[in-house]
Structure 1
């Protein structure tokens, strides 16, 4: 089992202290390529070391649907600015509830004002699911 602590696990343990980052002037094509290469659905957008947004696969789909030229359109034009974040010491069960209620697939994880990772609904739910399997065994 990957997440032995399950629902009682803190979100900081799940994200492992890393997030995939990009700058706001990256093109949408470059962002899509990075997401594809890393097999992720979102990038944290940073500028001067600060989190300023999140760009997701949904944002790229919206840009395509609106006929944006992805090779020249920048992440800054389509990212979610001033994104909601979650604290590093929130347990994964709470994080799952928040992600589902808010309709988010990805949420930046912050610790004392610093980005330490990106929580995905998939990873959070698998963690909770694995914990419930152990409880039922």
Structure 2
């Protein structure tokens, strides 16, 4: 004779995912932005002063037109040595990356991690309806993953 269960029918429970996991939940919203006309020297000083390694470049209308990073500044430093000239007061527009890869604010950090994995970018501007609303970095994704490490993803 088989064993009979006396517990009765169990109610199926679906575990809800209650932790935030979208890019907008972890992105930096207060950004230091740069203009295309700004001096590359000034940008390097701001990088050092604010302990950052890059940021978005926006035009006078507030639209994203590029991104400037320490790597872009290295190009200026390298050219200065090659031509035996001091670092000149050249504009950001000359050295910034113009074809900027962006990410939407409403995608998951898991999808964002995939974007970072498939590119060599350290940071990505975050867009909402074509407007710059923040920036997310690889470090932000790692921090988000640590916060979510105790959750089940379904």
Q: Which TM-score tier does this pair reach, normalised by the shorter chain?
A: 0.7 to 0.9
1: CA distance between counterparts of 2:44 and 2:31?
16
2: CA distance between counterparts of 1:65 and 1:12?
36
Query: Following superposition of structure 1 onto structure 2, how do residues 98-117 of structure 1 map, counting pairs within 5 Å?
Result: 98-117=115-134
Normalising by the residue count of structure 1, what TM-score does the alignment of the two structures yield? 0.84
1: CA distance between counterparts of 2:30 and 2:118?
25
- Give the Å deviation of 1:71: 4.2
For residue 34 of structure 2, what is the aligned residue in structure 1?
22
Pair 1:79-2:96 in alignment: yes
Higher relative contact order (CA 8 A, sep 6+): 1
For residue 129 of structure 1, what is the aligned residue in structure 2?
146
Q: Is the 8 A contact 1:42 1:54 kept in 2?
A: yes
For residue 60 of structure 1, what is the aligned residue in structure 2?
73
Normalising by the residue count of structure 2, what TM-score does the alignment of the two structures yield? 0.75
Equivalences, count = 130
Q: RMSD of aligned C-alpha atoms?
A: 2.1
Task: Please identify runs of 4+ aligned residues in structure 1 that moved more than 4 A.
Answer: none
Structure number with higher helix proportion: 1
Q: Which runs of 5+ in 1 are unaligned?
A: none
Q: Secondary structure at the match of 1:34?
A: helix
- Give the Å deviation of 1:16: 4.5
Structure number with higher strand proportion: 1
Cα deviation per residue 1:107-131 (whole Å; 9 max; x = unaligned)? 0000011101111111112222342
Q: Is the 8 A contact 1:27 1:70 kept in 2?
A: no
Q: Is the 8 A contact 1:45 1:54 kept in 2?
A: yes
2: CA distance between counterparts of 1:70 and 1:13?
39
Q: Which runs of 5+ in 2 are unaligned?
A: 1-17
Pair 1:13-2:25 in alignment: yes
1: CA distance between counterparts of 2:115 and 2:87?
31
